[in-house]
Each structure stands twice: as C-alpha cells, then as structure tokens.
Amino acid sequence: MRASDAPQATGIEVVATQPTKADRATLAMFESTERKTLPGAAYIVKVRLKTLPEPTSRGFALYVGDLRIPKYWTYRQGIWFKVFDPQFFAEHKGEPIRFSLNDTEFVKTRLKLTVPKMAKTKGGRTAARLPAQEDVLK
C-alpha cells in the first residue's frame, strides 16, 4: 500500500441524525462521566469516495486539519464517522480533509469540513425530527 493508493474523496456531508439506542446510552455515559451536556443528536460525517477501501491490514488514517479522526467506518458510497459533541465542528470548521498512511506524509483532498445544522434542544424533541442513521448511511 502506497500513498498513491489513498482514497479519492469526492464529497463531504455532515448530517445531524437521531441517536440510536446505543448512542443514547453513549450520550448518557458522556453526561455522567464527563459532566457534559450535549444536544440529543448524533452527527454523521460522511466522506464520499470513488472506491471503498479494501479490507486489508493497512489503511489510511483520516485527518481533519491536524486532527487524526480515531476511527471510521464504511457505507455504500464511502466512509463515515460519528460525533456527539458539536464543539468539534466549531473547532474544526473549514479545515482540510486529508489522508495519511503513516502520520508523517499526507494526501490532500479538495474537501473541507462543513458544519451541520445543529440540533437545538436536548431531550429528543428536535432529535425526533432528525433522520435515522440507517437512512443517512444507505
């Protein structure tokens, strides 16, 4: 695997979604262990790719600016990761999307992090009107 094998990103989209049952438990854990109040939404950051990554041992880390996104997952059109704390978007809005095989050399994309429409209220009233993750990740 070489830098030339890096995923070719064609688009980025951030969607506020309804938290899943597991997400609600995660949000509760955040609130109890980190004393943090979060909007009742799960933000899905979708990066569309020309082709999906191969299931090999090695892989490219995804970066937003200088922040290495800890994990990503696949959907039909690319990769995605989930954010619960909208502070992430405030801190990284407009930063470039990059890939790296080794954390020292980077492959640029033309994409920058966009900002979702924020869920405004806590407690599920807004979240109930948000799309389900399974629909967003179809």
Q: Which residues bind another protein (CB under 8 A)?
A: 1, 21-23, 25-26, 29-30, 33-34, 52-62, 68-76, 79, 81-85, 88, 101-105, 137
Distance CA 121, CA 114 (A): 21
In the complex, the smallest distance separating the C-beta of residue 21 from another protein, rounded to whole angstroms, is 7
- Contacts of 83 by beta carbon, 8 Å cutoff, 6+ apart: 42, 43, 45, 89
Contact by Cβ (8 Å): 114, 13: yes
Nearer to another protein by Cβ, of 56 and 123: the residue is: 56
In the complex, the smallest distance separating the C-beta of residue 75 from another protein, rounded to whole angstroms, is 6
Contact by Cβ (8 Å): 75, 44: no
In the complex, the smallest distance separating the C-beta of residue 136 from another protein, rounded to whole angstroms, is 13
Nearer to another protein by Cβ, of 101 and 107: the residue is: 101
